[in-house]
């Protein structure tokens, strides 16, 4: 086997920190111009531990770049109508530039209805159908945070994408599907020939082995193993999972959808978990909020 032993680590913390420095500078300028900092609100419904961690990280990131942030905690039992009324209130709040409603929502609430109720001009998660449509057509709008964070990461590390064979594993509305669209665009990063794979894909290993760039958003811990990856590929791991680890004080460790130790030596470049896509998702949210604030 002709294994690549030195791979480039696509360090999302490093890339995110560099972008945050530029965001903080622009936020300060904007504050000086219009008398208030960009303002992001995050709505958290219920007590889901992972959602709470994600939202708190987003609020903390706002503080780091000089944004104002508001965390709105709502009870698990809130009705859909009451949540829609809160969304309407945020749409009409002139002191707020953008907001997110953290997903998933409790089962009794129709998340699509809630997303569609958000004013597209304040939809900094980029989930509203109008923003999704604009992305597909290449028109201005808010790009979904995780795929656009991955684009920023590829840019930061000067990963060549034009003409490359790209496989996106997973077709969720928030990651896989928009990722496949962004990498198909006539832009940089983009101009890839993209295959979007999912649970009904046949002969998955044959397909993933063809990828020069493999984006994995499947939601299954360490699913992608070395035999599924081409020598010299660029691998981006979106997954994040806690798995038990008795050697850690916490009793667990974080892993991605890729079995990193086996896959990394085959790669030209690979993103780690943690410290890869996660920090980039948050950075993209800040970029979208800055864009909303600039109007």
Active site residues per annotation = 58, 102, 125
CB-nearer residue toward ligand NAP: 117 or 236: 236
Q: Does 258 bind ligand NAP (CB under 6 A)?
A: no
For ligand NAP, give the closer residue by CB, 234 or 277: 277
Among 68, 155, 198, 242, binds ligand NAP (CB under 6 A): 198
Q: Which stretch binds ligand NAP (CB under 6 A): 29-37, 93-101, 159-167, 214-222?
A: 214-222
Applying CB under 6 A, which of residues 42, 132, 175, 235 lies at the interface with ligand NAP? 175
Q: Cα dist. 37→31, 42, 57, 162, 182 in Å?
A: 5, 16, 19, 38, 30
Q: Which is nearer to ligand NAP, 146 or 288 (CB)?
A: 146
The residue (of 161 and 208) whose beta carbon lies closer to ligand NAP is 208
Contact 273, 291 (CB under 8 A): no
- Name the minimum Å distance from CB 279 to ligand NAP: 8
Can you tell me the distance from the alpha carbon of 165 to that of 234, in angstroms, rounded to the nearest whole number? 11
User: Which residues ranging from 267 to 286 are in contact with ligand NAP (CB under 6 A)?
Assistant: 277-278, 281
Cα separation of 146 and 143, whole Å? 9
Smaller CB separation from ligand NAP, 220 or 294: 220
Contacts of 30 (CB under 8 A, 6+ apart): 37, 38, 290, 293, 294
Nearest to 256 by CA among 169, 145, 177: 169
- Listed in sequence order, the residues at least 6 apart from 174 whose beta carbon sits closer than 8 Å to its beta carbon are 103, 127, 144, 146
Helix (H, G, I), strand (E, B) or coil at 156: helix
Binding mask 112-151 for ligand NAP (x = CB under 6 A): ----------------------------------x-----
Distance from C-alpha of 238 to C-alpha of 221, rounded to nearest angstrom: 11
Kindly list the residues in this chain that would bind ligand NAP in the complex (CB under 6 A).
Answer: 146, 170-172, 174-176, 197-201, 204, 217-220, 238-241, 277-278, 281
């Amino acid at each position: 086997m002709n294994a690549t032993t030195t791979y480039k680590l696509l360090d999302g913390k490093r890339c995110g920190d560099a972008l945050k420095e530029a965001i903080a500078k622009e936020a300060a300028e904007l504050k000086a111009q219009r008398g208030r900092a960009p303002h992001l609100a995050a709505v958290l419904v219920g007590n889901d531990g992972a959602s709470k961690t994600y939202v708190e990280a987003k609020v903390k990131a706002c503080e780091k770049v000089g944004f104002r942030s508001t965390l709105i905690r709502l009870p698990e039992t809130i009705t859909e109508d009451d949540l829609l009324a809160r969304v309407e209130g945020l749409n009409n709040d002139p002191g707020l530039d953008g907001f997110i409603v953290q997903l998933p929502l409790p089962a009794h609430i129709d998340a699509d209805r809630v997303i569609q109720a958000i004013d597209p001009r304040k939809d900094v998660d980029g989930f509203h159908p109008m923003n999704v449509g604009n992305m597909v057509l290449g028109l201005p709008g808010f790009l979904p945070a995780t795929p656009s964070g991955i684009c920023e990461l590829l840019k930061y590390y000067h990963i060549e994408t034009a003409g490359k064979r790209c496989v996106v594993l997973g077709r969720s509305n928030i990651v896989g599907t928009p990722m496949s669209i962004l990498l198909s665009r006539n832009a940089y990063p983009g101009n890839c020939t993209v295959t979007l794979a999912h649970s009904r894909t046949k002969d998955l290993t044959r397909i993933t082995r063809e990828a020069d760039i493999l984006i994995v958003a499947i939601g299954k811990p360490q699913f992608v193993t070395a035999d599924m990856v081409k020598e010299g590929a660029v691998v981006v791991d979106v997954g994040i999972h806690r798995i038990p680890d008795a050697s850690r004080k916490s009793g667990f460790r974080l892993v991605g959808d890729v079995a990193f130790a086996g896959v990394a030596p085959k790669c030209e470049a690979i993103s780690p978990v943690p410290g890869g896509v996660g920090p980039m998702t948050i950075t993209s949210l800040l970029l979208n909020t800055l864009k909303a604030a600039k109007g």
